[in-house]
Amino acid sequence: MSAPAKSVLNESKQIERAAMLIEMGARMQVLESETTLSYERLIRLYKEIAGKSPSKGQLPFSTDWFLTWQENIHSSLFLNIYEYLSKGVSLDSVELLTKAYRLYNEQVAAAQIEPLLSFTRAWRLVKFVDAGMLTRTKCSQCGGQFVTELYENRHYTCGLCNPPARAGKSKSAGALTLH
Ligand SMILES: [Zn+2]
């Protein structure tokens, strides 16, 4: 195949990838990181597909969000799905992420829980895990795998086995409640 034909093919693949990410609700940060298209190109594509300008501002570069109670349970659910899928069929990183995110949404919808984890957050979570800033630790009580910092101790108990005092008191629909 000649070089120009190759680059056209590659570009259409990049556009397809960007479109898929925009449809999942990804923010510009994700698009810039996961495709080779220029910023201007991505903005135009975003407006075309989402029908609005992308929201400005970056996500805070902090692992805290993933470690707070309800957010941690959602993050752990997603990461378990992601890790499970990554061991099976070989998918590229974006395919893996979108597939895992769809499954996460299906699971929370089935449990009638509001999905707390946005696609961009899910992407960020995987980045933190890849960078060795977050990992999964087995709960010493229920045996489930939960998102934690790297050096959690052996007697770690998860947010479901050991919920904070305020947990489960939220009256908002779709919040996690404990039985
Ligand atoms: Zn537990």
> Considering the entire predicted model, what is its pTM?
0.86
Distance (Å) from CA 69 to ligand 1 centroid? 12
Asked if residues 106 and 95 have their Cβ atoms less than 8 Å apart, the reply is no
For tokens 């941690």, what's the residue? Answer: 72
User: What would the CATH number be for the domain defined by 64-148?
Assistant: 1.10.10
Where in the chain is CATH 1.10.10?
64-148
Provide long-range contacts, Cβ within 8 A and 24+ apart, for 155-162.
Answer: 158/72, 158/73, 158/76, 159/69, 159/70, 159/72, 159/73, 160/73
For tokens 């999964």, the residue is 136
- Smallest Cα–Cα separation from 25: which of 88, 126, 119, 136? 119
Residue-by-residue pLDDT tens, the chain, 179 positions: 567 777 888 889 999 999 999 999 999 999 999 999 999 999 999 999 999 999 887 777 789 999 999 999 999 999 999 999 999 878 888 999 999 999 999 999 999 999 999 999 999 999 999 999 999 999 999 999 999 999 877 789 999 999 888 765 555 556 666 54
Q: How far is the CA of 123 from the centre of ligand 1 (A)?
A: 24
- How far is ligand 1, taken at its centre, from the CA of residue 94, in Å? 30
